[in-house]
Amino acid sequence: MMKELNLIATTTFGLEAVLNRELEDIGVKEHATINGRTYFKGDVRTLAKANLWLRTADRIFLNMGEFKALTFEELFQGVKRIRWEDLLPRDACFIVNARSVKSKIYSLRDIQAVSKKAIVERLKKAYGCETLPETGTKYMLEIAFLEDKVTVIADTSGHGLNRRGYRQEVGKSPIKETLAAGLIMVSRWRPDRPFMDPFCGTGTFGIEAAMIGMNIAPGLKAEFDAEKWEGFSPEIWEEERIAAIKAINRNANLRIYCSDIDYFQLKLAEKHAELAGVGGHIHFQKIDYSETGSRYDYGFIITNPPYGERLLEKEAAEEIYRGMGKHFSETFPTWSVYVITSCGIFEKLYGKTADKKRKIYNGGIKCDYYQFFGPKPPKPRTAPEETKTEETKPGEGTAAEAAKAEES
């Protein structure tokens, strides 16, 4: 049984700071980000919370050990020194994958073979047996080389954490759920503010916003490899699932608007929203971005418009960017606007310089996240002290102002 776990969370390049804030939200006080990976410690409950609640993490790994290896003999001995019997039972079905970046040892097939042999030798000695059946629970292991340093990890998630369970069909230009959630969190949108995506496609931005607004744990419908591992307390995972269900705010008052010109994409978006449990909290509409509007003076537009990777599509995309700049400045002058695109001249086409840019990768496409900050809405006014009477109860006399503030 492993009491203290050395864990690693991975995320999209550019979202490390957001992931670190999420870790702090689930009670992780100390963490360190190195080479795009965030290292932290915890117990099984920490591990369960990380898999259930981290919106921007791609996977959660158990860090089994790190060492330097310039030869296959050093690799063999380094892997063999790890206490595999603390993780793997005698009948464990373990699969070894490999990665190598800028290292002298780069043959992935040889890395897998040597590492597998080292683990088998260690387990045979630990369990006093000549053979290992490998008929039991699955364990996905990885031997990762980076500049001759080896990190040996076990995948506790078993699948990418972007797989929330609601997106059964992929649209034309999908954005990963983890990336969409991260970009929303970067914007500092709050559930009490209007949210709009005028290029919603199959609805990922709007659905992730609604899940944030309703406090739905992104991994609530998923199953994870580690909860089936021996000694990893399945009852704790069940307790954390029950706690996550109780934490959902089903009465959240959200104003989320998603639109697109593609009827079939919108139908998929509506289906995905229902599967995610947020269908009643998002308003979908078939409309061109240039016809969008709002009765609210302040809000957030967060969107992933067409990139135009091909020549003809590029020209069409550039025309859209020009139109966005004109329409948003005229129709949403006090809204904050956030756009992810691979277009290097987006600001020139949009007609405005972003207040802030963040480099990000959408899949394998290098992009920028352009952030145009709108002014802060005025604070709601409270009734003057002298207008209150003895008959006025606490909270009365301010309902109209509160309602007015809600609309703004």
For 54-98, what is each residue's pLDDT tens digit?
A: 999 999 999 999 999 999 999 999 999 999 999 999 999 999 999
Task: Please tell me which of 160-174, 288-302, 305-319 the model is most confident about, judged by mean pLDDT.
Answer: 288-302
Q: Above pLDDT 70, what percent of the chain?
A: 91
Mean pLDDT, range 150-179, rounded to an integer: 89
pLDDT over threshold 60, residue 348? yes
- Among 164, 170, 173, residue whose Cα is nearest residue 303: 173
For the chain, list the domains and their CATH numbers.
5-155 (3.30.2130.30), 177-214+249-372 (3.40.50.150)
CA distance linking residue 14 with residue 185, whole number of Å: 12
What is d(CA 401, CA 379) in angstroms, rounded to the nearest whole number? Answer: 10
Q: Is the pLDDT of residue 380 over 90?
A: no
Amino acid at position 388, single letter: K
Residue 388 has pLDDT above 70, yes or no: no
Q: Quick: pLDDT tens for 35-54.
A: 889 999 999 999 999 999 99
What are the backbone dihedrals phi and psi of residue 267, each rounded to the nearest 5 degrees, phi first? -65, -40
Q: Which 3-state string (H, E, C) describes 158-226?
A: CCCCCCCCCCCCCCCCCCCHHHHHHHHHHHCCCCCCCEEECCCCCCHHHHHHHHHHCCCCCCCCCCCHH
pLDDT attached to residue 309: 62
The answer to whether the predicted template modeling score (pTM) of the entire model surpasses 0.85 is yes
- Computed over every residue of the chain, the mean pLDDT equals 91
| pLDDT at 389 (0 to 100) | 37
Do 269 and 258 form a contact (C-beta atoms < 8 A)? Answer: yes
pLDDT score recorded for residue 394: 36
DSSP 8-state code for residue 28: -
What tokens does 38 get? 């965030």
Alpha carbon distance 209, 278 (integer Å):
10
Per-residue pLDDT band at 402 (split at 50, 70, 90): very low
Provide the β-strand partners of residue 291.
none
pLDDT digits (tens, 9 = 90+) for 114-164: 999 999 999 999 999 999 999 999 999 999 999 999 999 999 999 999 999
pLDDT tops 60 at residue 392: no
Of the listed ranges 14-23, 100-109, 180-189, 306-315, the one predicted with least confidence: 306-315
Contact 102, 147 (CB under 8 A): yes
* DSSP state at residue 151: E
Q: Are 61 and 8 in contact (CB under 8 A)?
A: yes
313's tokens: 């599509």
Residue 47 contacts residue 155 (beta carbons within 8 Å): no
Contact 43, 60 (CB under 8 A): no
